[in-house]
Amino acid sequence: MPTEARGDDVYQPQDVGQDPPNDDLDLENALGERGLDDQLDEGYSPPERPLGVDKYGTTGEEERRGESLDQRLAQEVEDVEPPDGDGIGDLDDGEGEPLEPEEGETRSGRLSPADDVPGRRTDVYANDVGIDGGAASAEEAAVHTTDEEEDQGRQG
């Protein structure tokens, strides 16, 4: 076999650019696409227990006769009322939810960063600029002011 005919003389089709490669996946290879393939290929999982087998109307005679009003009313389920509350601070004449002992009683307003405050870099200082007409976010409403004397006696 001559050495010149090693692969150069093998037929190679010319690429004229008319049919670019199609990278679309067919439905058999697509992941997470339920219902696109045939139902038989996907399979079927039956429910854990038979549904409706013991209900009225499964036989032809029961279906022709129909269900009486008493039978229908016996199937009704009562509406479940949500609980009124957790029982803490829910009394009509009570003072509301109890305050945490660490929490101050006066609510802070909007906080803005304090300028030129000495301290460590991990400390956070802010100025109270007042309540914004009651339109505080939940995070802002949760901030309360404590006295410095109380703060110093606390371990933390």
Give residue limits of the domains in the chain.
Answer: 108-117+124-143
pLDDT of residue 100: 67
Strand partners, 126: 113
pLDDT one-digit tens code per residue, 21-79: 666 666 666 666 665 555 556 667 788 888 778 888 888 899 999 999 999 999 899 88
Indicate the DSSP class of residue 11.
-
CA distance 15 to 19: 9
Q: What is the CA radius of gyration of the chain?
A: 38
In our burial notation (b when 16+ CB lie closer than 10 A, e otherwise), range 37-64 reads eeeeeeeeeeeeeeeeeeebeeeeeeee
pLDDT (0 to 100) of residue 50: 80
Q: Is 17 helix (H, G, I), strand (E, B) or coil?
A: coil
| Cα–Cα distance measured from residue 73 to residue 110, given in angstroms and rounded to the nearest whole number | 57
CA distance 92 to 113: 40
Confidence of residue 139 (pLDDT cuts 50, 70, 90): confident
CA 133 – CA 122 distance, rounded (Å): 31
Residue 125 token pair: 């200082």
**How many CB atoms lie under 10 A from the CB of residue 141?**
13
Tens-digit pLDDT profile for residues 95-108: 666 666 666 677 77
Q: What element of type H or E holds 12?
A: none
